[in-house]
Homo-oligomer: A and B are copies of this chain.
Amino acid sequence: MSDDKLVSMADGAGGERMQKLIHDTLLKNLPFSRSAGEVPLEDLDDGAVVGDVVFTTDMHTVKPLFFPGGDIGVLSVAGTVNDVSVMGAKPIALSLAYVVEEGLPTEDLARITASADATAREAGVPIVTGDTKVVERGAADGLFVCTAGMGLPTHTLDHNARVVEDSTGRSQRWLLDSQVSSDATIILTGHVGDHGLAVLAQREGYGFDTEVVSDVGPINHLVEAAMSVGGVMAAKDPTRGGIANALNEWDEKSNVGILVREDDIPIRPGVLHGCELLGIDPYEIGNEGKALMAVVPDKARSIVEALRGLPRGGDATIIGKGTTEVEGVVLETSVGGHRVIEPPISDPVPRIC
């Protein structure tokens, strides 16, 4: 069988190759399912909406299972809490399912489970159901973890959120990728690249000068704080493909130009140094504890203030805006030039989530 008829690592690394797999192999073979619900599968948003419930799932194959700042248990719970949260919903329950490779130390499974629970506690979202399967040695890579999450609409919980309209004129009910307006202010809740580089450094043993620690954690309290101020149009957790991928999804689905300023995008020196050594674009690396938000301009400063008052939002800042001045996603560099931030072909770092 020729190689292009076999699934490859690049097919799973986000970006264009993955889009092709999703469209040609998956969505195409889901004729019954793909258009069901208020926000259906084929929209490829962070979650689906069915009835009044947001529903989302993540499969986690991070390698190694433990890394600086977290482990696969933290990652699995945070990943799904965050996907529900950036839909503008309040996550209320999680599922947790394991594939365990025979020979995994029971103590590792216990630690990871305790991490998942501690993260659930931080988020305020319990794990209510689960499943565990064990496979033979060599049939898995230690542990894979699948989480799913449910969330309820925030507008039934918080009537302060300002209602805006999306690009199609619909009244906002959820925070969707299609709702970024051409006058939006874009906020990022902290530094980029920490998670991807921390996992990579742990795995490959690169001797970076600065120890980089993953940012993995739940961001639901950040999104809720912003929505309490009001005026949030869209939110996104920039995981696979990083902020480059997330901003391009907004550009594409909202049909709006996006301009961000290099000097305003927070990045730690250790991450910048590691990325330079490896030839990786820090904007294309996955984050696991950050949110991008597109908000109405006159609420932006109040939202940043609210975010900075929370443990995971201390470095929140305005990084750019929606605009009709440019097409696509454009970076204003430190020296005043402009360069296009393309959607990544694939994530430069495999198995970070």
Contact of A61 with B by CB under 8 A: yes
Contacts of A101 on B, CB cut-off 8 Å? 7
A138 to B141 alpha-carbon distance, docked (Å): 8
Can you list, as one digit per residue, whether each of A87-125 has a CB less than 8 Å from chain B (1) or not (0)? Answer: 000001111111111111111011101101110110000
What's the minimum C-beta distance from A142 to chain B, rounded to whole angstroms?
9
Q: How far is the CB of A128 from chain B (nearest CB, A)?
A: 4
Distance in angstroms between the alpha carbons of A22 and B100 in the assembled complex: 13
Interface string of A310-353 (1 = CB under 8 A from B): 00000000000000000000000000000000000000000101
- Chain B residues whose C-beta falls within 8 Å of the C-beta of A130 in the assembled complex: 26, 41, 57
Question: A53-B150, A59-B132, A146-B148 given. 15 additional CB < 8 A pairs?
Answer: A6-B104, A7-B101, A7-B104, A12-B135, A25-B109, A26-B132, A32-B126, A33-B127, A36-B126, A41-B129, A55-B95, A55-B148, A59-B133, A60-B133, A138-B138
Cα–Cα distance between A71 and B103 once the two chains are bound (Å):
27
User: Which chain B residue lies CB-closest to A152?
Assistant: B51
- Is A30's CB within 8 Å of the partner chain B? yes
Complex contacts, A30 vs chain B, CB 8 Å: 113-114, 116-117, 127
Taken together as a complex, chains A and B put the C-alpha atoms of A353 and B133 apart, in Å, by 9
5 smallest beta-carbon distances between A and B, as pairs: A12-B134, A148-B148, A36-B126, A146-B146, A57-B95
B25 touches A110 (CB 8 A): yes
The answer on a CB contact under 8 Å between B29 and A114 is: yes
Q: Is A1 an interface residue (CB 8 A)?
A: yes
Residues of B within 8 A of A50 (CB): 92-93, 128, 150
Which of A8, A22, A29 gathers most chain B CB within 10 Å?
Answer: A29
User: Would you call B131 and A48 a contact (CB within 8 A)?
Assistant: no
Residues from chain B with a CB closer than 8 A to the CB of A61 are 99, 133, 135, 139
In contact, A141 and B139 (Cβ under 8 angstroms)? yes
Q: Which residues of B contact A113 (CB under 8 A)?
A: 25-26, 29-30
Expressed in whole angstroms, the minimum distance between the Cβ of A236 and any Cβ of chain B is 16
**Chain B min CB distance to A131 (Å):** 5
Contacts of A56 in B (CB 8 A): 95, 129
Q: Is A47 engaged at the interface, CB distance under 8 Å to the other chain? A: yes
Contact code string A136-151 (vs B, CB < 8 Å = 1, else 0): 1011110010101010
Whether A9 is near chain B, meaning CB under 8 Å from some CB there, is yes
| A32 engages B121 (CB within 8 Å) | yes
Nearest B residue to A59 via CB reads B97
Closest approach, in angstroms, between the C-beta of A38 and any C-beta of chain B? 10
A309 interface hit (Cβ, 8 Å) = no
Residues of B within 8 A of A12 (CB): 100, 132-135
A21 within 8 A of B: yes
Name the B residues within 8 Å of A32 (CB-CB).
Answer: 117-118, 120-121, 126
Distance between A227 CB and nearest chain B CB, rounded to angstroms: 20
Residues of B within 8 A of A28 (CB): 110
Among B5, B13, B55, B94, the residue within 8 A (CB) of A105 is B5
